[in-house]
Amino acid sequence: MAIELKSAKDIEQLRVVSLMAAETLLLVGEKLRVGMTTEEINTIVHEDTIRRGAYPAPLNYRGFPKSVCTSVNDVVCHGIPDATVLKDGDIVNVDVTTFYKGFYGDTSATFYIGTPSADARKVTEAARKALDLGIAEVKEGARLGDIGAAIQEYVESQGMSVVRDFVGHGIGRKFHEPPQVKHYGKRGTGERMKVGMVFTIEPMVNVGEWEIDVDPADKWTVTTADGSLSAQFEHTIAVTKNGCEVLTQRPKPLRLSENVTAVFA
């Protein structure tokens, strides 16, 4: 399947829906607290999305039962909101995808609940920087493999690993479309980036090894095979003539994720 290059009009629509997703994620950060359940996060995301006249894309997507993914501690991705209570020291990734007027916007962040352990801080900050380094590689004429190489080189230099089984993806009129954007690989390989390409970069970083397990019961929840902590950050990116535009850029810092120096004091 060919990679669809988005028009200027498409990009404008993607800006609108991506900002919606970013603002919903900001709201989650404002509400998060010790003692909250992941089901409560789901309610926040669902209600805020519907309030905007949009739809929470994960809901019923290939049978996924909730409106958002909530991945706590050793859950890598696709955690299903439930009665799980967030405890002091937990980390939780909240992955928001909004559908509005025919287009999707996709973003996620990992939040600190209470005071994080050294490993929790290490893996979360590595995942944050890995995303930034991946974005820095996006420009017309560069190759998709450059993104993965930059992420892998950094993460492994920190003594951690990048999950191989899940990758970034094209996005637009479909939730998932070409190209695949690996978070590992070699420079100078993969598709050349072209103006109008829109895709997610969403590295999943593990404290331990990169191998994962999928829950055989719910067939969604992905955990680290070795039980180590995992963290992830995600943005939706458009390739432009001047480099790239982060369509899900947030208008202010995320509470309990960004600008949390006081947490570490």
| SS3 of residue 114 by DSSP | coil
- Total count of domains within the chain: 1
Task: Decide: pTM greater than 0.75.
Answer: yes
Q: Is 137 part of any domain?
A: yes
Residue 262 is predicted with a pLDDT of 53
DSSP string, 122-153: HHHHHHHHHHHHHHHT--TT-BHHHHHHHHHH
What residue has token string 């695949």?
180
Report the CATH number that the domain containing residue 136 is assigned in CATH.
3.90.230.10
Q: How far, in Å, CA of 193 to CA of 5, rounded? A: 10
If residue 113 lies in a helix (H) or strand (E), which one and from where to where?
A: none
Q: Is 264 part of any domain?
A: no
If residue 28 lies in a helix (H) or strand (E), which one and from where to where?
A: helix 8-31
Residue 156 is predicted with a pLDDT of 98
What is the CA angle 264-78-125, rounded to 5? 25
Separation of CA 204 from chain center: 8
Taking 70 as the pLDDT cut, the residues of the chain under it are 261-265
Residue 260 is predicted with a pLDDT of 72
Q: Is 263 part of any domain?
A: no
DSSP string, 206-219: ESS-S-EEE-TTTS
DSSP 175: S
Q: Is 1 part of any domain?
A: no
Q: Is 198 part of any domain?
A: yes
Tokens, residue 250: 């947030």
Q: Is 83 part of any domain?
A: yes
Q: Is 2 part of any domain?
A: no
Residue 79 is predicted with a pLDDT of 98
Tokens, residue 15: 């800006």
Residue 259 is predicted with a pLDDT of 74
Q: Would you tell me how many other CB atoms lie within 10 Å of the CB of residue 91?
A: 29
Domain residues for the domain of 228 are: 8-258
Q: Is 187 part of any domain?
A: yes
